[in-house]
């Protein structure tokens, strides 16, 4: 069967036969078949694309896909205690309102004039996040935390002209996979051991592994396993004494109450914006940031775009543009530019800017405090259940914590299955990724969990374990 096309389709104005005919005449062609003249016959697809029949109307489309999506059970319907790199926070209505605006949603790569809004909102995002992390420079967002960390390590490697990075042993295994692939070849990744009681970095192991080829030491706060790494000053000193760069990954939702990594010597800070006003979207709203001091040696190593403010020819007017554009792969250097740049997650950067504008200093403080209190409460209550330790590590944490079920003689898999039956998504099973921890799960508590939600979880686990 030959293709006939789909005439009068609402998305394709010139699928209207009359218009089509008129246009063909004007360009001197007889039919649509005369187009694609340059493609030789042997390359033309002779078969038939075996695709499902399209829905006949917007109504039917909406209804049919809605029906498929209804097979999902969302975290609005069940209680969710999963975190591990994607976190359920409250998304203020204004965030959705702004990022649904067609002007932003369907914008792309215009110039600083017609796309003034994109430039100003992203400049403001950079500036707001710079205050939160207490640094000078923030990039237009990259893909996710892992990408930001990987680029940070490559930046460090170029700055130091060295080819090894030491990475915290409690890093999220998926994040490590992304970093390892991105840094391969060029930067060799070595993990540093951690203290099995506190979770914190084993500084003796770190000292053993640091060499004169170490470009960077990378650690996180809070760590992937939730605890706060409070040896930052020592770690940064070890890095600096060895001529390496201190790179710290942070969850920005903690920074209303936790010290910024600049206070313990970080040279490059990276992390994920998703907690700042983004829905979880099945992991599709992760967005990475990188931040440094305003020093030429750092700025010139960013692969990302950096939007800056400048005067216009009219007094009293703000204008915007790209800082040091030539360093990027969009400049004249192509493959000689820094890594590469392209479509990443700009809309999520704009959204994070909206979020921080709404939250202000007190909002970020209260958010942090709320999460601290609720996670402490959950840990304490979990510890009251027979055989359960609310926190495997004896360090204080933020938002996430490793719950130890080893003494219950039950597997996390079994517990989570039973929790699911009670309408609860239990914490992430760590038994595969961190077998040395045995039967432990990573739980996440945020401001969206009310006391009654935490109590529901506690009661459910108690019922499962104590019967």
Partner 1 sequence: MKRIVRNTKVRDFHQARWNEPIIFELSCKGERGVLVPGSEEAIANQVGDGISRIPLSMRRNSLPNLPEINQKRVLMHYLRLSQENLGGDMNIEIGQGTCTVKYNPKVNDRIANTHKVTALHPLQDESTVQGILEVIYKTDLIMRQISGMDYFSFQPGGGSQATMTMASIVRMYHRVRGEEERRDEIITTVYSHPSDAAAPALKGYKIITIMADKNGHPDFEAFKAAVSERTAAFVVANPEDTGIFNPRVKEFTALVTKAGGLNCYDQANANGLFGIARAKEAGFDMCYFNLHKSFGTPHGCGGPGSGAVGVVKELKEFLPKPLVGFNGEEYFLDCNIKSSIGKVKAFIGTPQVVLKAYAWIMSLGAEGLYEVAKVASLNNVYMIKKLLEYDGITVPYKVDTQRIEQARYTMEKITQDTGITSGDISRRVMDFGMHIWSSHHPYYIPEPITLEPTESPSKDDLDEYIATLHHIFDEAYNNPDIIHSAPNNSVTHQVDESSFDDPKLWCPTWRVYLRKTKED
Which of 196, 208, 334, 384 contacts partner 1 by CB under 8 A?
334
Which of 23, 212, 384, 409 contacts partner 1 by CB under 8 A?
23
Which of 195, 246, 285, 391 contacts partner 1 by CB under 8 A?
285
Which of 341, 403, 437, 440 contacts partner 1 by CB under 8 A?
341
- Alpha-carbon distance 91 to 88, whole Å? 9
Indicate whether 438 belongs to the interface with partner 1 (CB under 8 A). no
- Alpha-carbon distance 339 to 326, whole Å? 12
Indicate whether 414 belongs to the interface with partner 1 (CB under 8 A). no
Sorted by sequence, the CB contacts under 8 Å of residue 188 that are 6+ apart come out as 163, 164, 165
Indicate whether 317 belongs to the interface with partner 1 (CB under 8 A). yes
Indicate whether 17 belongs to the interface with partner 1 (CB under 8 A). no
- Alpha-carbon distance 217 to 240, whole Å? 9
- Alpha-carbon distance 16 to 282, whole Å? 39
Indicate whether 387 belongs to the interface with partner 1 (CB under 8 A). no
Indicate whether 20 belongs to the interface with partner 1 (CB under 8 A). yes
- Asked whether the beta carbons of 429 and 441 are under 8 A apart, the reply is yes
Indicate whether 377 belongs to the interface with partner 1 (CB under 8 A). yes
The sheet carrying 428-429 orders its strands as: 400-404, 440-444, 428-429
Torsion over CA of 253, 129, 303 and 284, rounded to 10 degrees?
A: 40
Pull the structure tokens for residue 4: 């006939």
Task: Scan for tokens 């920005």, then name that residue.
Answer: 252
- Asked whether the beta carbons of 227 and 397 are under 8 A apart, the reply is yes
User: In terms of C-beta density within 10 A (0-12 exposed, 13-18 middle, 19 or more buried), how is residue 360 classed?
Assistant: exposed
Q: Measured from the CB atom, is 191 or 376 closer to partner 1?
A: 376
Pull the structure tokens for residue 82: 């999963």
Q: Measured from the CB atom, is 208 or 281 closer to partner 1?
A: 281
Q: Measured from the CB atom, is 12 or 208 closer to partner 1?
A: 12
Indicate whether 107 belongs to the interface with partner 1 (CB under 8 A). yes
CB under 8 A: which stretch of 80-88, 206-214, 243-251, 403-411 binds partner 1? 80-88
Sorted by sequence, the CB contacts under 8 Å of residue 113 that are 6+ apart come out as none
CB under 8 A: which stretch of 159-167, 176-184, 201-209, 459-467 binds partner 1? 176-184
Q: Measured from the CB atom, is 212 or 312 closer to partner 1?
A: 312
Per CB under 8 A, contacts with partner 1 among 296-315 are 296, 299, 306-314
- Smallest gap from Cβ 71 to partner 1, in A, equals 4
Per CB under 8 A, contacts with partner 1 among 60-79 are 61-62, 64-66, 68-78
CB under 8 A: which stretch of 130-138, 189-197, 206-214, 237-245 binds partner 1? 130-138
Whole-Å CA distances, 125 to 96, 108, 177, 292, 335:
16, 17, 29, 15, 29
Classify strands 268-272 and 245-250 as parallel, antiparallel or unpaired. parallel
How many residues bind to partner 1 according to rule CB under 8 A?
217
Mask for 222-251, x = binds partner 1 (CB under 8 A): ------x-x-xx------------------
């Amino acid at each position: 069967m030959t293709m006939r096309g789909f005439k009068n389709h609402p998305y394709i104005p010139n699928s209207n036969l009359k218009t089509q005919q008129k246009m063909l005449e004007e360009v001197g062609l007889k039919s649509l078949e005369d187009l694609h003249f340059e493609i030789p016959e042997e390359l033309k697809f002779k078969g038939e694309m075996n695709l499902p029949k399209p829905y006949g109307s917007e109504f039917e489309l909406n209804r049919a896909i809605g029906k498929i999506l209804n097979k999902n059970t969302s975290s609005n319907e069940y209680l969710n205690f999963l975190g591990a790199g994607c976190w359920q926070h409250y998304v203020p209505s204004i965030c959705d309102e702004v990022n649904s605006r067609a002007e932003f949603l369907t914008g792309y790569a215009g110039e600083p004039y017609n796309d003034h809004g994109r430039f100003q909102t992203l400049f403001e995002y950079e500036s707001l996040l710079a205050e939160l992390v207490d640094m000078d420079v923030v990039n237009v967002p990259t893909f996710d935390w892992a990408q930001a960390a990987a680029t940070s390590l490559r930046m460090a490697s170029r700055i130091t002209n060295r080819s090894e990075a030491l990475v915290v042993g409690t890093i999220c295994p998926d994040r490590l996979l992304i970093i390892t692939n991105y840094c391969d070849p060029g930067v060799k990744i070595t993990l540093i051991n951690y203290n099995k009681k506190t979770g914190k970095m084993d500084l003796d192991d770190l000292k053993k592994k640091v060499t004169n080829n170490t470009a960077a030491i990378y650690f996180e706060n809070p760590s992937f396993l939730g605890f706060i790494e409070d040896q930052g000053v020592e770690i940064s000193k070890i890095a600096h004494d060895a001529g390496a760069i201190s790179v710290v990954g942070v969850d920005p939702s903690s920074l209303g109450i936790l010290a910024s990594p600049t206070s313990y010597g970080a040279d490059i800070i990276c992390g994920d914006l998703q907690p700042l006003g983004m829905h979880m979207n099945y992991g599709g709203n992760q967005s990475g940031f990188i931040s440094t001091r305003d020093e030429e040696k750092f700025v010139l190593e960013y692969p990302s775009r950096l939007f800056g403010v400048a005067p216009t020819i009219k007094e009293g007017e703000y204008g915007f543009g790209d800082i040091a554009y030539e360093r990027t792969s969009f400049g004249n250097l192509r493959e000689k530019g820094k890594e590469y740049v392209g479509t990443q997650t700009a809309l999520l950067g704009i959204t994070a800017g909206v979020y921080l504008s709404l939250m202000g200093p007190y909002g970020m403080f209260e958010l942090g405090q709320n999460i601290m209190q609720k996670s402490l409460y959950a840990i304490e209550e979990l510890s009251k259940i027979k055989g359960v330790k609310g926190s495997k590590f004896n360090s204080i944490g933020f938002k996430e914590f490793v719950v130890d079920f080893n003494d219950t003689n039950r597997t996390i898999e079994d517990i989570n299955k039973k929790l699911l039956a009670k309408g609860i998504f239990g914490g992430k099973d760590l038994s595969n990724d961190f077998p040395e921890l045995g039967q432990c799960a990573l739980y996440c508590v945020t401001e969206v969990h009310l006391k009654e939600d935490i109590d529901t979880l506690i009661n459910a686990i108690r019922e499962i374990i104590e019967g």
